[in-house]
C-alpha cells in the first residue's frame, strides 16, 4: 500500500511565480529521510532535495525548499521563481526499511506545468 500521498495530480504556475507541491506520508519510524525527485520529459529521475527527519531546519537547494512538519507528517516542496525548465513530474519519497535494507517508497506524483 502507498504510504506517501501527493494530493495534487496536476498543477500549473506562471514563470517567475512560486508554487508549493504537497506531500504527506505515514511511518512509524522516528529517524528517516525524505526526498523530492524531479522527472522531466526526458524520463530521467533527478534528486531535487533531501530532508533528514531528525533535523528541524528545513532543507533548501537554491530555488527549492521544503516545509517539513514532522508531527503532521507533511513534507511540501516550494519552488520559487519558477522557470520553464521546472516543468516535470515531481515525486515525493521516503526511504523505508525493508527486509534486508532500505528502499525508496514513492508517491503517485504531481505534474507541474510552468507557463510563460
Partner 1 sequence: NAGVTQTPKFQVLKTGQSMTLQCAQDMNHNSMYWYRQDPGMGLRLIYYSASEGTTDKGEVPNGYNVSRLNKREFSLRLESAAPSQTSVYFCASSRPGRANTEAFFGQGTRLTVV
Q: Which residues bind partner 1 (CB under 8 A)?
A: 2, 4, 6, 9, 31-33, 35, 42-45, 47, 50, 52, 91, 95, 97-109
Residue 62 CB partners (closer than 8 Å, separation 6+)? none
Minimum distance of partner 1 from residue 35's CB (angstroms): 6
How far is 90 from 27, CA to CA, in rounded Å? 21
Minimum distance of partner 1 from residue 82's CB (angstroms): 23
Question: 31 or 56, CB closer to partner 1?
Answer: 31
Question: 82 or 105, CB closer to partner 1?
Answer: 105
Residue with cell 526526498: 35
Contact predicate 43/37, CB 8 Å:
no
Minimum distance of partner 1 from residue 116's CB (angstroms): 26
Strands 24-25 and 110-115: unpaired
Amino acid at each position: 500500500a502507498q504510504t506517501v500521498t501527493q494530493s495534487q495530480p496536476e498543477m500549473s504556475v506562471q514563470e517567475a511565480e512560486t508554487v508549493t507541491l504537497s506531500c504527506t506520508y505515514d511511518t512509524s519510524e522516528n529517524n528517516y529521510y525524505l526526498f523530492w525527485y524531479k522527472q522531466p520529459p526526458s524520463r530521467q529521475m533527478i534528486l531535487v532535495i533531501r530532508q533528514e527527519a531528525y533535523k528541524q531546519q528545513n532543507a533548501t537547494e537554491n530555488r527549492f525548499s521544503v516545509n517539513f512538519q514532522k508531527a503532521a507528517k507533511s513534507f511540501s516542496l516550494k519552488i520559487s521563481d519558477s522557470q520553464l525548465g521546472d516543468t516535470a513530474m515531481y515525486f515525493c519519497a521516503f526511504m523505508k526499511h525493508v527486509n534486508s535494507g532500505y528502499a525508496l517508497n514513492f508517491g503517485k506524483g504531481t505534474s507541474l506545468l510552468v507557463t510563460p
